[in-house]
Amino acid sequence: MDTYAPLNIPPSDVPENVPLDRVFDVDAFNLAGIENGYQEACKRLQGPGIPNLIWTPRNGGHWIVTRGSMVREVLRDPARFSSGVIVLPKEAGEKYDLLPTRLDPPEHTEVRAVANKVLNLREIRRIEDPIREIAVELIEPLVALGHCDFSEDYAQKFPIRVFMKMVDLPMKDAALLKHYATQILRPDGADGTEMAVSVDKAVQGFYAYLDPVIDARRGGEGTDMITRVVNSQVNGEPISKVDALSLMANLLLAGLDTVVSFLSFVMLFLGRNPEHLKQLADDLSLIPHSVEELLRRFPIVSDARIIANDIEYDGVQLKRGDMIQVPTALSGLDEEMNDDPWKVVFGRKRPEHSTFGDGPHRCAGMHLARMEITITLHEWLSRIPSFRVAQSAAPRFSSGMVAMVEDVPLEWDAA
Ligand code: HEM
Ligand 1 atom nearest to CA at 360:
41
Looking at ligand 1, which residue's alpha carbon is closest to its atom 39?
361
354 alpha carbon – ligand 1 mean position (Å): 11
Query: Quick check: is 2 in a domain?
Result: no
Query: Quick check: is 356 in a domain?
Result: yes
Query: Of 146, 159, 382, 414, which Cα lies nearest the Cα of 287?
Result: 382
373 or 184, which is more confident?
373
Give φ, ψ of 210 to 5 degrees.
Answer: -80, -25
- The answer to which of 4-18, 222-236, 384-398 has the lowest mean pLDDT is 4-18
* Confidence at 292, pLDDT banded by 50, 70, 90: very high
- The answer to which of 102-116, 199-213, 259-273 has the lowest mean pLDDT is 199-213
* Residue 285 CB contacts under 8 Å (≥ 6 apart), including other chains: none
What is the mean predicted confidence (pLDDT) over 23-38? 95
Best probe residue, ligand 1, of 363, 368, 371, 372 (max atoms within 8 Å of C-beta): 363
* Confidence at 287, pLDDT banded by 50, 70, 90: very high
Ligand 1 proximity of 227 Cβ (cutoff 6 Å) = no
Query: Quick check: is 4 in a domain?
Result: no
pLDDT at position 1 over 80: no
305-353 pLDDT, tens digit each: 999 999 999 999 999 999 999 999 999 999 999 999 999 999 999 999 9
Look at residue 220 in the predicted model and tell me its pLDDT: 94
Evaluate whether 353 touches 295 at the Cβ level (below 8 Å): yes
* Confidence at 187, pLDDT banded by 50, 70, 90: confident
Which residues are paired to 23 by β-bridges? 55
Looking at ligand 1, which residue's alpha carbon is closest to its atom 40?
101
Average pLDDT, the chain: 94
Look at residue 112 in the predicted model and tell me its pLDDT: 97
Show the 3-state SS of the chain: CCCCCECCCCHHHCCCCCCHHHEECCCCCCCCCHHHCHHHHHHHHHCCCCCCEEEECCCCCEEEECCHHHHHHHHCCCCCEECCCCCCCHHHHCCCCCCCCCCCCCHHHHHHHHHHHHHCHHHHHHCHHHHHHHHHHHHHHHHCCCEEEHHHHHHCCHHHHHHHHHHCCCHHHHHHHHHHHHHHHCCCCCCHHHHHHHHHHHHHHHHHHHHHHHHHHCCCCCCCHHHHHHCCEECCEECCHHHHHHHHHHHHHHHHHHHHHHHHHHHHHHHHCHHHHHHHHHCHHHHHHHHHHHHHHCCCEEEEEEECCCEEECCEEECCCCEEEEECHHHHCCCCCCCCCCCCCCCCCCCCCCCCCCHHHCCCCHHHHHHHHHHHHHHHHHHCCCCEECCCCCCEEECCCECEEECCEEECCCC
Look at residue 301 in the predicted model and tell me its pLDDT: 96
Write the CATH number for 84: 1.10.630.10
Ligand 1 atom nearest to CA at 262:
1
64-78 pLDDT, tens digit each: 999 999 999 999 999
Query: Quick check: is 75 in a domain?
Result: yes
The reported pTM is 0.95
Total of domains in the chain:
1
Query: Quick check: is 61 in a domain?
Result: yes
398 alpha carbon – ligand 1 mean position (Å): 19
Query: Quick check: is 142 in a domain?
Result: yes
Ligand 1 proximity of 101 Cβ (cutoff 6 Å) = yes
231-244 pLDDT, tens digit each: 999 999 999 999 99
102-152 pLDDT, tens digit each: 999 999 999 999 999 999 999 999 999 999 999 999 999 999 999 999 999
Best probe residue, ligand 1, of 76, 83, 119, 258 (max atoms within 8 Å of C-beta): 258
What is the mean predicted confidence (pLDDT) over 360-387? 98
104 or 182, which is more confident?
104
What is each CA distance from 19 to 5, 139, 306, in whole angstroms? Answer: 15, 53, 19
Query: Quick check: is 5 in a domain?
Result: no
119 alpha carbon – ligand 1 mean position (Å): 11
Query: Quick check: is 112 in a domain?
Result: yes
To the nearest whole percent, how much of the chain has pLDDT over 70?
A: 100
pLDDT at position 46 over 90: yes
Q: Which residues span the domain enclosing 389? A: 11-411
Q: Measured between alpha carbons, how far is 150 from 385 in angstroms, rounded to an integer?
A: 15
* Residue 371 CB contacts under 8 Å (≥ 6 apart), including other chains: 124, 125, 128, 131
259 alpha carbon – ligand 1 mean position (Å): 10
